[in-house]
């Protein structure tokens, strides 16, 4: 495992870390605490020392599990996201009173003295024009309740606007099917010494190259229920790519890149960008950890391979995905 600095936090974090949306069970299944702790331990044993969670994941169980683990492993860093655990999503969730309450609740869930990093969890665009939101985070930082803060975003423009404030990191969707963040935003973030956490790195599994037109997902799985953005931003599911189009594109990537391990290559592709502090693939059980963490050991993609990725993107994905996010 290799390590990179997470922006102005100066945290040295594993370039392949762990996202915990699926921790302790797949979407729609009951939370399994033992599976969660085993998954965190497996990630740690493979060198991962950074976990990304949120107050709304599994009704707070994810935060509690991550908190339990980091309390016994002080070399592990973490971020939690706030603002989306109460429905329906509203800009009111990001007002000073609610943000303060959410931070207090996360501190209680995780049983720590201070939160390493708090990300505003995909706030609506008008939030970025509410400076009191970000000044509240500055106040919480000054009070010692949080060490750093940033944003998790849906759109590039949100990340750019967030750089106006004293943030330490931006979490953004970036993968072989979502290339636009690298065009401008990465350079702006580097200039501001803001770390980038690449989320949804496998496009909800499309970039494993294992799905077919006949693949079925559980009824409660967001890959069943949110294909058209019924529950939350469509870009969160399959990176906003039409499913059958994504299957075709992934199959072509496998063939032209000459790999049966597209997932690891897709993660290694993200790490080609030095603006990225870490990629945060998810895992619902320990067996998926090895697949993810081995990506750091792969050789860099060649110029020819990078051209193939861009060609497949331009052929299948760019229109309309690039213009929406």
State the pTM of this model: 0.96
Q: Does position 321 have pLDDT exceeding 80, yes or no?
A: yes
* pLDDT single digits (tens) 73-110: 999 999 999 999 998 889 999 999 999 999 999 999 99
Kindly state the average pLDDT of the residues 109-135.
98
Residue 61 DSSP code: H
Kindly report the CA angle at 63 between 77 and 68, in degrees rounded to 5? 70
Give the model's pLDDT for residue 27.
66
* pLDDT single digits (tens) 289-320: 988 888 989 999 999 999 999 999 999 999 99
What are the tokens at 136?
């509240």
* pLDDT single digits (tens) 49-60: 999 999 999 999
Is residue 48 within 8 A of residue 1, CB to CB? The reply is: yes
Q: Does position 1 have pLDDT exceeding 80, yes or no?
A: yes
What are the tokens at 1?
């495992």
Q: Does position 283 have pLDDT exceeding 70, yes or no?
A: yes
Kindly state the average pLDDT of the residues 128-134.
98
Kindly state the average pLDDT of the residues 111-130.
98
Distance (Å, whole) CA 252 – CA 263: 14
The secondary structure element, H or E, covering residue 95 is none
For 8-39, give the DSSP string.
GG--EEESB-EE-TTTTSSTTSPP-HHHHHHH
Q: Does position 231 have pLDDT exceeding 90, yes or no?
A: no
Kindly state the average pLDDT of the residues 221-225.
89
Kindly state the average pLDDT of the residues 141-157.
98
> What CATH number is given for 3-210+261-301 in this structure?
3.20.20.100
Mean pLDDT of the chain: 95
Kindly state the average pLDDT of the residues 138-160.
98
What are the tokens at 200?
């949804």
Give the model's pLDDT for residue 290.
86
């Amino acid at each position: 495992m290799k390590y990179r600095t997470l922006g102005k936090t100066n945290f040295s974090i594993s370039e392949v870390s762990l996202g915990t949306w699926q921790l302790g069970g797949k979407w729609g299944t009951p939370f399994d605490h033992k599976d969660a702790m085993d998954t965190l331990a497996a990630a740690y044993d493979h060198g991962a020392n950074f976990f990304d969670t949120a107050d709304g994941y599994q009704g707070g169980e994810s935060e509690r599990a991550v908190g339990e683990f980091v309390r016994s492993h002080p070399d592990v860093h973490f971020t939690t996201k706030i603002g989306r655990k109460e429905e329906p999503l509203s800009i009111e969730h990001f007002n000073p009173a609610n943000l303060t309450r959410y931070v207090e609740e996360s501190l209680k869930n995780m049983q720590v003295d201070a939160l390493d990093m708090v990300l505003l969890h995909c706030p609506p665009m008008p939030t970025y024009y509410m400076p009191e939101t970000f000044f509240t985070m500055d106040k919480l930082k000054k009070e010692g309740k949080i060490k750093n803060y940033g944003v998790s975003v849906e759109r590039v423009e949100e990340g750019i606007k967030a750089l106006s404030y004293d943030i330490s990191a931006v979490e953004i969707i970036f993968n072989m099917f979502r290339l636009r963040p690298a065009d401008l935003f990465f350079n702006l973030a580097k200039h501001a010494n803001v770390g980038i956490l690449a989320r949804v790195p496998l496009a909800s599994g499309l970039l494993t190259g294992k799905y077919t037109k006949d693949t079925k997902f559980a009824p409660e799985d967001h890959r069943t229920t949110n294909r058209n953005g019924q529950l939350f931003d469509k870009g969160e599911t399959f990176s906003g790519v039409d499913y059958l189009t994504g299957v075709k594109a992934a199959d072509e990537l496998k063939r032209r890149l000459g790999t049966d391990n597209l997932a690891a290559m897709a993660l290694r592709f993200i790490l080609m960008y030095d603006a990225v502090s870490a990629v945060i693939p998810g895992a619902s059980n320990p067996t998926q950890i090895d697949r993810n963490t081995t990506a750091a050991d792969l050789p860099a993609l060649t110029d020819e391979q990078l051209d193939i990725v861009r060609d497949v993107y331009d052929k299948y994905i760019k229109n309309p995905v690039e213009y929406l996010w």
